[in-house]
Amino acid sequence: MRKVVKKTLVKTVIWRLIGSTDTFVVSYIVTGTFETALKIGGIGLFTKMIMYFIHELIWSKRKKKGLTVKRSFFKTLTWRMIGSLDTFIISLFIVETAVTAATIGGIGFFTKSILYFLHERAWSKIKWLKTSPPLLKEHEIELIDDFKIDIKSIITKNKEKDTLNY
C-alpha cells in the first residue's frame, strides 16, 4: 500500500503542474487577465490535487488486466468530468458569468483530456518501485564480510605495532 500512495503522490504533483498550467493558460486566453487566470489556476491547484489523489487511489484498487489504452481512456474520461466540473465551479465563483466559466471549463475539458491521456500512457510505461533482485549475490556478500574482517585485523595489527613502537 505504501508504494501505491508514494506513486499516487508523485503522479498527483506531476499532473497538477501540467493541469494547472493548462488551466492558467486557458483562463488567461478566455478572460484576458493575468490575475483572474492566476486565481482560477491557483484555487484549482489545491482542490484538484485532493480530488486527483482520491481518483488515483480508487483506480489503483480496481483489478487491472494491464495498463491498457482502454483503461487510460476511461480514467481520462472519469477524471475530466470531475476536473472540468471543478474548473467550471471555480471559474463561476471568480468570473461570475456562466458563459465564461463554461468556456474555460469546456476548452479545458478538451485540452486536458489530450494531456491527461498522454500523461496516463507515459505512466503506464514507468516501472515504479518494482522489487528487484538483491544487488549482491550471497557469495559476494560473504566476500565483502571476509574483506571487512581482513581490514579489521590489519587495523588491529597496526595499532599493536604502534603501541609497541612507543
Q: Which amino acid is at 116?
A: Y
Same structural domain, 20 and 82:
yes
Q: Are residues 45 and 86 in the same domain?
A: yes
Q: What is the mean pLDDT of each successive set of 10 residues along the chain, which is 166 residues long?
A: 80 93 97 97 94 90 77 93 96 96 96 95 76 45 47 60 58
Specify the amino acid at residue 17. Answer: L
- Secondary structure (DSSP) of 105-132: HHHHHHHHHHHHHHHHHHHHH---S---
Domain membership flag for residue 33: yes
In this predicted structure, what is the pLDDT of residue 128? 65
Let me know: does 86 contact 51? Beta carbons within 8 Å: yes
**82 and 153 share a domain?**
no
Q: Residue for cell digits 468570473?
A: 95
Between CA 133 and CA 151 the distance in angstroms is 28
131 in any annotated domain: no
Are 76 and 153 members of one domain?
Answer: no
Q: List the domain range (segments joined by +) for residue 140.
A: 136-166
* One domain, residues 98 and 165: no
Residue 94 is assigned to a structural domain of this protein? yes
Q: What whole-number distance in Å separates Cα of residue 44 and Cα of residue 47?
A: 5
Answer yes or no: is 130 within a domain. no
CA–CA separation, 148 and 151 (whole Å): 5
C-alpha to C-alpha distance for 50 and 2, rounded to whole angstroms? 18
Same domain, 89 and 141: no
Are 112 and 71 part of one and the same domain?
A: yes
Query: What is the structure's pLDDT at 132?
Result: 46
Per-residue model confidence (pLDDT) at position 8? 85
Domain assignment present for residue 156? The answer is yes
CA distances from 79 to 45, 70, 73, 74, 137 (A): 15, 14, 10, 8, 44
In-domain check, residue 9: yes
Predicted local confidence at residue 100, as pLDDT: 97
| 151 and 86 share one domain | no
Same domain, 72 and 45: yes
The reply to whether 82 and 163 lie within a common domain is no
Total domains present in the chain = 2
Q: Are residues 142 and 119 in the same domain?
A: no
Same domain, 117 and 164: no
Contacts of 37 (CB under 8 A, 6+ apart): 24, 25, 27, 28, 31
